[in-house]
Structure formats: C-alpha cells, structure tokens
Chains A and B, each alone.
Chain A
Amino acid sequence: MSSARKQGRARFAVQEERDGWLFAAPFVVGALAFVVFPLAYSVALVFLEWDLVRPPAFVGLANIRKLFQDPMVGTSLYNTAYYTFLGVPLHLLVALTLALALNARARGVSAYRTAFYLPSITPSVASAVIWLQILHPEFGMLNDAFEKLGISPQRWLFEPSLTKPAFILMSLWSIGPQMVIFLAGLQAVPEVLYEAAHADGASAWQRFRHVTLPLLTPTIFFNIVVGIIASFQVFTTSFMMTGGGPQNATLFMVLQIYYVAFSYSRFGYASAIAWILFLIVAGFTVLQFYIGRRWVYYETQL
C-alpha cells in the first residue's frame, strides 16, 4: 500500500518535472532564439565590419576605437543625457504635483485623470505628427499662445538650442502613467498618519514633508528608474520630427544606432554603439538600486 503510494508520488514527480519544462518552453525557447543568440551575435558583431553586401571582415578593436574618435557619439550621448536629466526630474515634479492635486475625493477627479492619462496612450507617431503642428514656427499653437502673452514667436524645431527643450516640453504631455503611479502611492499612505500629524499641529507642508514624502520614496524611486531607462531609448520623436537635426541637436543614441545600421549599413559599428547604450542603462539600473536601498523608505523597516 505505502509503496504503491510512494510509486504514485514518484511518477507524479517525474511528470511534474516534464510538465514544468513543457510549460516553460515558450519562454526558454524564445529566450534562447530571440535574446541569448542575438546577444552573443551582437558581441561578435562589435569585432566585424559588415554591410550585408561584402562578406563580413574581422576588424579587431577598430569599432571600439572609433567610438572614442567619432564626434557624433559624443553628440548623441550629450543630447540623450540632456534630454534625460532635464526631462525626468521635470516629469516627476509635474506628475507628483498633479497626483497630489488629484488625491482628493472630489467631483471630476476621474475626468481629470482621463484628461491627463489619454495623451500617454496616443501612438508615438501620432503624437509626433500632432506636435509638429503645435511647434510649427509660423502657424503653431505654441507660438500663438506666446504671442498672446506678448512673447516673440520661436523657431522651435529649427533652432538647435530650442529643439531639446521643445522635446522635453512635448514629453511632459505623456506623463500620465507616472501620475497614476504617484496616485497609487499616495492612496497607500495610511490616513491615520495624517490624522496623527494633524493632531500634533503639523502644517500642510510639514505633513507633506514628514509623512507623504518618506512614504512615497519607493514610488518616486520607481518612477526615476523607469523614467531614465525609457528616456535613454527615445526614438520616434526625433525620427519623425527632426530626423536628428537641426545641426544634430536631436540626434539621440537610438536614432544614431538606427542611422548607422539601417541607413549606412555599418552593422558592426552600430552594435558597438548599442553596447555603450546598454552599459549606460544597465549602470543606472544598478546604481539606482544601490542608492535606492539607502534612502528609500520601505514600510517593513518600521
């Protein structure tokens, strides 16, 4: 009897082992074919010169050396860093402000939430088209508003010093998800803490500074990480609106990788640039998790 049961369990364990792999197969096979292999291939490509016309040629470290000599790499790095480190803090500030304002049980909050959220699910090509018109130097809505305020119209997408600020302004239009994440974070702050602070005579600012902010740090932290990673991969905006110009002012890293690979057919060099981008993004992810562990407040630490 007991041996039969043991046998049954053993048979089930064998079956479970097989089922486990079978169920996981879509990911395992997909990861090998579409991630592991291309990654290995990408490492090999760094050492090759290949334009798909002539056979690939081994060039050693030439692509890596070129990274340090190519002024365009510096330009695209600077542009991407500018866009990210000015844009992301601004996104957080606006998204948090909106979330604080909407964290009220008042009429119309869900309509507001919809108004702020909808732009973020607009297809990126469509928003590029829309903003091309808004930023139009002669007939654009933004210059129309400027004129009404008595400010002279600007040549947004044609003036190198203004294109990146214009793109950052445009990116503010799609902060909906960050705002919703902040709202969730705010709603998770226990009401009793506010009431206790209130009873102790804390002002609105003190309640924000000493109750809301500490409890919101994981959310802020999450938004920073996701924001930086997404921002470093900006592509459609500059591809559609400026093609990287004027004077390479909006040549971002992914756009540069795209041009080097698919316009100039320099697949080896494009891979080398892609690895730089990868190292930067991975670096920020690791760095932020390391820093985050120090200043992020988690409830379990109480």
Chain B
Amino acid sequence: MASRVAPSSPTVASAARSPGSVLRRRARRMAPNALLHLVVLPLAVVFSVPLLWVISTSLKPQTEVFSWPIQWIPTHVRWSNYVEAITRIPAATFASNTAFIVVVSTTLTVLSSSMVGYSLARLRWRGRQIVFAVVVVTMMLPPVVTIVPAFLMYKAIGWVDTYLPLILPSSTAGAAFYIFLMRQYFTGLPYELEEAARIDGATSWRIWWQIMLPLCGPVLATVAIFTALHHYNDFMWPLIILSSPDHYTLALGLRMFVDMNTSYWHLIMAFSTLMLLPIIALFFIAQRYFIRGIHLTGLAGR
C-alpha cells in the first residue's frame, strides 16, 4: 500500500511560469483550506469533548458531577480525586498485572511472528505453503468461535485465572496477522545478504537474529505497538479468564469500580484518565508507527 505520494512537483513547476498564476493558485489553495477549518474544526471539537470532559469530571468534587446545566470547569480543582481513585481499589496491583501481560505478550509476539515470518519467507521446507495457507485462514477467523471451547479447555488443564491463556494463544496462533506482515516484509529483502552469510557458515538462527531482525526495526515496532495496545485494552477475554480480583487488569479494575458504586463518578473518571495516559503518551511518542500500522493493518483499536 503506497503510503505517501511526494508533494506534487507539477503544480510548483507550472506555477513558476507566470506571476499571475502564482496568485491565482495561492487563492485557490487558500479557499479549500478555509473551508477545511470551517468544517473540520467544529467536528474536531466534538470528537475531543468526551476526553476533555473526562478530565474535567475527574477534577470535580462529588457534588458537582451531576449538576444541571453541566459545569464544564470545576469550581475547585480537586487533584485529591486521583489519590482517592487509586487507593479505593488496588490500582497498583491492576497496573502491575497489566504491565506484566503487556510486556511478556509483546516480547513473545515480536519474537514468534518474526521467526515464523522468516521461516515462511526465506527458508525452503516441505509444508511451507500449507502452513502459510493456515496462517491466512487463521487471520480471518473471528476469535469468538473458539472462546467457549477454549475456556473449557483451559478450565480442564487448570489455566483459568492464570495469565497463560491471555499470553500464549495470542502470541502464537493469534499472531497470524503479524506473521503475515513479517513474511511480506522479509520476502522483499534482498537475498544477497543472506547468501553471503550462509557461505560463511552462519546458521539460520544467526541470520535471523543478526541480519534479518536489525533490518526490520519499523515493522517490529509496529507489531510491538499494536500488540501492546491490544493487550492493554482487551476486555472480554480477561473478563472470561480472570476470576480473582488480585489477578485483574486495569480494564477489569475499571469495570469493578463502576460496579462498586455509581456515586463515585469523579473517581471513576480519574481512574479512566490515568488509564488513558499511557496510551496517549505512546501515541505521541510513536505516532508514525501507529499511522504506518493502520495503513498495514487497518485494525487499530478494535
């Protein structure tokens, strides 16, 4: 998928021909821009309002949460809501559980998808075509079909309420899409790189680790970011698998908070804001990988 086309040089070239056309062109370019802001700015405000409103509510005293008309700016900014939010429920436990799942899953997914992708793209072995076909089919399989039998299976082998069902399936078979992505990327790399190393007697492991991986930093980053995002946001599968609150993730913790008491909205919003911060930070740090990843996957945030 072509991501970006170079700015049109023909426009510049023809504009340079006569001074009159420069002005006309500039005017024509200004007009749509004004229109752009006129139409898009209000919409951007509408899209941003819910997130701004969460922050506003998170800083309100309880009495102002339900006020009519809506109080947009709290009369007294209460930072203490944040302290109260993370002490009223075991937020630190939820955060460290989530961090564990995210870090382990992301590491395993990056390793396994690049290994399998390398094998499918670069190594010749019997059965490779079949395995690749299975990867493509797995990619299209809606995960909901296997939820019930998978739960029963994990129950039988004692994996329920552990992190294994959250980590292992998604970083192996569940990584089908990332495997596909890696395979496409590896297929495009020049073969000379590998052949020279082979003649020098390098093993497949060394070629994968020392030659191939360093060449695919951006793809690995994309896979890592989307895997981390998926595990951080995942709700349904942890809800089914994890039963003891000690093992809850942040997403389950937020749900527990909502179920506990509906008069704590200011604290719930403080907790939500805290939960959003790492994602927003990640987005701003790695924005180009997000955009690149959406171009490649189209599945972000689902």
Contact = CB atoms under 8 A, between A and B. Distances in A.
Interface of A: 12-13, 15-24, 26-31, 33-35, 37-39, 41-42, 45, 50, 52, 98, 101-102, 104-108, 111-112, 114-127, 129-134, 138-139, 141, 144, 147, 173-174, 176-178, 180-181, 184, 187-192, 195, 222-223, 226, 229-230, 232-233, 235-236, 239-240, 254, 257-258, 261-262, 267, 270-271, 274-275, 277-278, 281-282, 285
Contact of A192 (B4, B10, B111, B126): B10
Contact of B251 (A26, A118, A125): A125
Contact of A121 (B69, B127, B301): B301
Interface of B: 1-5, 7-8, 10-11, 32-33, 36-37, 39-41, 43-44, 47-51, 53-54, 57, 65-70, 111-112, 115-116, 118-120, 123-128, 131, 134-135, 138, 140-153, 155, 168-169, 171-176, 179, 198, 203-205, 208, 229, 232-233, 235-236, 240, 250-251, 254-255, 258, 265, 268-269, 272, 275-276, 279-280, 283, 287, 290-291, 294-295, 298-302
A35 B173 contact: yes
A191 B7 CA distance: 9
B298 A181 contact: yes
Contacts, number: 303
B68 A139 contact: yes
A-B pairs with lowest CB-CB distance, top 7: A30-B172, A20-B125, A23-B119, A26-B112, A34-B169, A30-B173, A41-B149
A121 B148 contact: no
A180 B295 contact: yes
B116 A180 contact: no
Contacts of B142: 229, 232-233, 277-278, 281
Contacts of A130: 50-51, 53-54, 272
A125 B254 contact: yes
Given A124-B233, A187-B3, A187-B5, A39 B149 contact: yes
A280 to B, nearest CB: 9
Given A102-B36, A191-B8, A285 B149 contact: no
A121 B229 contact: yes
Chain A contact surface mostly: helix
Contacts of A105: 7
Nearest to A104: B36
B268 A129 contact: yes
B269 to A, nearest CB: 8
A41 B179 CA distance: 25
Contacts of B250: 123
Contact of B131 (A27, A34, A119): A27
A237 B1 CA distance: 32
A111 B44 CA distance: 9
A78 to B, nearest CB: 18
Nearest to A103: B36
A19 B116 contact: no
Most buried by A among B65, B135, B173, B208: B173
B204 A45 contact: no
Dominant SS among interface residues on chain B: helix
A285 B142 CA distance: 11
Contacts of A101: 36, 39-40
A260 B160 CA distance: 19
Nearest to B250: A123
Given A28-B131, A177-B300, A235-B236, 11 more contacts: A26-B112, A27-B172, A30-B169, A34-B168, A34-B172, A39-B145, A104-B33, A122-B301, A181-B295, A184-B1, A275-B145
Nearest to A240: B255
A275 B205 CA distance: 41
A39 B146 contact: yes
Contact of B119 (A19, A117, A184, A189): A19
B134 to A, nearest CB: 6
A146 B246 CA distance: 43
B134 A31 contact: yes
A92 to B, nearest CB: 13
Contacts of A15: 204
Given A24-B120, A39-B146, A138-B66, A258 B155 contact: no
Contact of A31 (B39, B138, B279): B138
A277 B37 contact: no
A36 to B, nearest CB: 9
A166 to B, nearest CB: 14
